[in-house]
A and B are shown apart, each in its own frame.
Chain A
């Protein structure tokens, strides 16, 4: 099977048309998104710029220091300078480190909401923070990070899956699109496995190699190449365009793996039908773009609209689940939603893989 797998990978890598759609095209799209949204908005995805005006509350300041470089890009200023920075848009908010800490913001966008949530989180755990600060001041930094990781307050702005961030919607939907574009290679591989659809498949079907080995080696090869494409795209997004994936980025890998397998299995399933090859390819492209449109690739408010009127679509659409899992890891750090998206994606992938295998395993046909 290793030899079959190697040859299958070789063939896919030499197919320039497939590589264009599954690797080059998403990179071009990502670059265009980057140009469209502008680098300043992209930068905002990483750290929220905030000012702190020192007022003697050392425990709160230590709490903020714990978030500096993780969630916040913190600058210590006097009140006047901080007000000017806020007015000029250089910071999204000013924390006043007084006895009862407060926050001044100039807008109602997501960054301002997150700053407010951080403050609320501190207030809810103020007693605990003061106790830790008194007994073990060094432990306060760790505790502040843990407070920031609490997900319940983040849910408050996470209304119906909307993030209010068009740039992230587009980028994460683009990753979803690339995962699902694995279906393009899946369709081609399936055609080469069904004896009623190609002479090549008929030839392979009359060899003494077990059907399962032929199918498994093909699926594995397509999955490998497409997963590598996704990794290249993520590296490009991160290092090329400077889009932060969050500190829990390793959690994105199972999302990408499942998303890719989901796309590949869908491709094998569709490839096993008796539709013409052009129609199959057209269905893959149209279906993928439609799902990505619903998950916010072209219009950032789309996912929230879908959530409001037909939430089931967001639970069943692989594109929405992939994008949502990315948000859960990169923005919200919401373990519940990440887990839910991953489980739903896994279920859909298992169903599609089983359906694809059942369709592909046939060895004798009514007509060829």
Chain B
């Protein structure tokens, strides 16, 4: 459906997109995950023919995307990172305005606007201007303006920034529903939990490159970490720490100043039991203990050597 090949975008000396490749299949929710400045929004702007790029090729629905590709644009809905609505217009006027940029038929548009208002739960706020809406409601209006014309492809650029948990959940549920109704979704975020929750495929970006892609499970299988055991409230000598490091399947240990021990293990049985047995043997006292499978942050950390949240 969308094919980006070898895309290069430079801002002077800074390379924002470095031979970036991306393929998107119809019907999927693709998550573009990466820290701030990794090139997600730049890639989206190039895809939408808003930004000039130095090299590469972009095709959407099998056709080259240009600024005057109006028929292609008609099938795309965009929800930008910053709320982009008119302050002087009410909720329903804003949705009608943006829907009207795609749909000229007045009767059809009226129906679509009502659907978008219902879908985003803005029924009680239709006569309000954006200034009177909370951050969450404003984000919902931002989404309604982008989806009212029922696009085939929806691009959501960090739609949940600065949104309360309740609104965030509603937005995420809405995106999944849009996808169920047939829309292909590109979802950019630096919140790995969101991406993990809703995306059928994830592309991890860093320094303008796609460094890994696949489903959540596929990504997690790419890295060495299969399990992270965390033990709180523990004090260890260097010798004891070294012994833990030498236990089977353990490849990394870290003891924080807050006395929290983090042990990363490769795939293997009884990792937790082995560690606890050693601690018992040493008659050490400790607090809460838990074991967790790897997160996307672990994937990012292992591939790039830095935290995704950085």
Give the B-binding residues of A (Cβ under 8 A).
3-4, 7, 10-12, 14-15, 195, 198-200, 202-211, 363-368
Contact = CB atoms under 8 A, between A and B. Distances in A.
Contact of B50 (A7, A14, A210, A365): A365
B71 A11 contact: no
Contact of A202 (B80, B88, B145): B80
15 contacts: A11-B89, A199-B83, A199-B84, A200-B85, A200-B86, A203-B84, A206-B76, A206-B78, A207-B73, A209-B102, A363-B49, A363-B50, A364-B49, A364-B50, A368-B50
Contacts of B74: 208
A203 B98 CA distance: 9
Contacts of A366: 11, 51-52
Contacts of A195: 50
Contacts of B146: 203
Given A15-B88, A195-B50, A203-B145, A210 B70 contact: yes
Interface of B: 11, 45, 48-52, 67-68, 70-71, 73-74, 76, 78, 80-86, 88-89, 93, 97-98, 100-102, 145-146
Given A199-B80, A202-B84, A367-B11, 7 more contacts: A7-B89, A11-B86, A195-B50, A199-B81, A200-B85, A202-B45, A205-B50
A202 B146 CA distance: 12
A14 B82 contact: no
A202 B50 contact: yes
Contact of B102 (A10, A208, A365, A368): A208
Given A364-B49, A364-B51, A204 B101 contact: yes
Nearest to B69: A208
Contacts of A209: 101-102
Contacts, number: 80
A147 to B, nearest CB: 55
Nearest to A14: B88
The 7 closest A-B pairs by CB, nearest first: A363-B67, A199-B84, A207-B101, A14-B88, A208-B70, A199-B82, A203-B84
A364 B68 CA distance: 10
Contact of B84 (A11, A200, A211, A363): A200
Contacts of A14: 88-89
Given A10-B93, A208-B74, A209-B101, A364 B52 contact: yes
Contacts of A207: 73, 98, 101-102
B89 to A, nearest CB: 6
A198 to B, nearest CB: 7
Nearest to B42: A368
A207 B98 CA distance: 8
Nearest to B89: A11
Contact of B71 (A10, A200, A208): A208
B236 to A, nearest CB: 51
A138 B77 CA distance: 75
Contacts of A200: 84-86
Contacts of B93: 7, 10
A43 B84 CA distance: 52
Contacts of A365: 50-52
Contacts of A199: 80-84
A258 B190 CA distance: 51
B166 to A, nearest CB: 24
A367 B12 CA distance: 10
Nearest to B45: A368
Contact of B97 (A7, A12, A211, A363): A7
A214 B52 CA distance: 21
Contacts of B88: 10-12, 14-15
Contacts of A367: 11, 51
Contacts of A210: 70
Contacts of B82: 199
Nearest to B78: A206
A80 B68 CA distance: 83
A11 B86 CA distance: 8
A251 B88 CA distance: 35
Contacts of B70: 208, 210
B133 to A, nearest CB: 16
B100 A203 contact: no
